[in-house]
Amino acid sequence: MSISQSKIARSVGVSRSAVSHVLNGRTHMVGPEVRDRILQAVEASGYHRNALVNALKTNRTHVIGIIVPEAALSFFGEVVRAAERETRLHGLQCFLSQSYSMPDDLEKDVAILREYRVDGLLIAPASALAKPELYRALQQQKFPFVLVDTPVVGTGSSFVGNDNRLIGQIATQHLLDLGHRRIVCIRGYRDNPGALQRYEGYCDALKRAGIPLDPQLVVGDGFQFETGREVTAALLNAGIRFTGMVTPADYVALGAIQELTERGLSVPKDVSVVGCANLDVSRMVSPALTTVDQEPEAIGRSAVQLLVKHIEDRTRPAEEITIKPKLIVRGTTAKPSADLTAS
Report d(CA 117, CA 124) in Å as an integer: 19
| Cα dihedral value 205, 210, 215, 216, nearest 10 | -100
Query: Own/partner pairs for 280-284, CB < 8 Å, 24+ apart?
Result: 280/78, 281/73, 281/250, 281/251, 281/254, 282/250, 282/253, 282/328, 282/330, 283/330
Report d(CA 158, CA 131) in Å as an integer: 16
> Are both 61-162+296-324 and 164-294+328-341 of the same fold?
yes
Cis bond before residue 287 (omega within 30° of 0):
yes
Residue 339 has pLDDT above 90, yes or no: no
φ/ψ of residue 71, rounded to 5: -100, -30
- Boundaries of every domain in the chain: 5-45, 61-162+296-324, 164-294+328-341
Residue 50 has pLDDT above 70, yes or no: no
If you count them, how many residues does the chain have? 343
Helix, strand and coil percent figures for the chain, each rounded to 5: 50, 15, 40
pLDDT band at 228 (very low <50, low <70, confident <90, very high): very high
pLDDT of the residue at 208: 98
Residues with Cβ < 8 Å from 150, sequence gap 6 or more? 124, 125, 127, 128, 161, 192, 193, 194
What is the three-class DSSP state of 2? coil
pLDDT digits (tens, 9 = 90+) for 107-151: 999 999 999 899 999 999 988 888 999 999 999 999 999 999 999
Strands 183-186 and 326-328 turn out to be unpaired
Report d(CA 163, CA 241) in Å as an integer: 30
Report d(CA 205, CA 208) in Å as an integer: 5
**Residues 22-41: what's their mean pLDDT?**
81
**Residues 321-332: what's their mean pLDDT?**
97
Residues with Cβ < 8 Å from 198, sequence gap 6 or more? 164, 165, 167, 168, 171, 187, 188, 246, 248, 276
Share of the chain above pLDDT 90, in %: 72
Q: What rounded mean pLDDT belongs to the chain?
A: 91
pLDDT digits (tens, 9 = 90+) for 163-180: 999 999 999 999 999 999
Report d(CA 127, CA 151) in Å as an integer: 8
**Residues 52-60: what's their mean pLDDT?**
62
CATH class in words for 61-162+296-324: alpha beta
Q: C-alpha distances in angstroms, 139 versus 107, 120, 136, 304?
A: 15, 12, 5, 18
pLDDT of the residue at 343: 38
User: Is the full-model pTM beyond 0.95?
Assistant: no
Q: C-alpha distances in angstroms, 264 versus 15, 19, 225, 241, 261?
A: 78, 71, 19, 15, 5
pLDDT digits (tens, 9 = 90+) for 182-215: 999 999 888 788 899 999 999 999 999 999 999 9
Q: Which of 109, 21, 95 minimizes the C-alpha distance to 62? A: 95
Report d(CA 70, CA 129) in Å as an integer: 19
Residue 287's CB is within 10 A of a number of other CB atoms, namely 15
**Residues 83-102: what's their mean pLDDT?**
94
pLDDT of the residue at 277: 93
Asked whether the CA dihedral 23, 27, 30, 32 is positive or negative, the reply is: positive
What topology does CATH give the domain 164-294+328-341? Rossmann fold (3.40.50)
End-to-end CA, the chain: 84
274 forms bridges with which residues in the sheet? 246, 290
Answer for the pair 82, 299: CB distance below 8 angstroms, yes or no: yes
pLDDT of the residue at 54: 63
